[in-house]
Amino acid sequence: MNRLLTMKRLSILFLSTFAVLMVGMFAYEKLVVAPGDRCEAGGKWWDPEGRTCAQPISIAEITGRPLPGQRAAASDAKNRELVAIEDSLTAQQKARDAEADRQRAALAAQ
């Protein structure tokens, strides 16, 4: 009696199925997983849905705002600018007051 599934045929079937699954696993690794790993290793962002490797952009580049490490220096510069404006306004006010006092004194002397 000839059997369809002999030990030799079963072993060939098993080995061929195993080989196909191994080739599929290595192909999946090479074509799906490896590009994402290479992208992230380069410091970029990987989008698996669109399979896109993108360069991250800093919000500071878009908005022109200072980076968090530079915020203290930018704040100090802005404060110095405001103090200079206040000083010039104070000097202008004193000059106006002095001129008004001079004109009052001139009118009182007449």
Q: How confident is the model at residue 93 (pLDDT cuts 50, 70, 90)?
A: very high
- Predicted confidence (pLDDT) per residue in 41-85, tens digit: 988 988 888 889 998 887 777 887 767 667 777 788 889 999 999
Q: Which amino acid is at 38?
A: R
The rounded mean pLDDT for the chain is 88
Q: What is the pTM for the complete model shown?
A: 0.46
Please report, for residues 30, 64, 85, the alpha-carbon distance to residue 54 in angstroms, rounded to integers and kept in the order given: 20, 21, 45
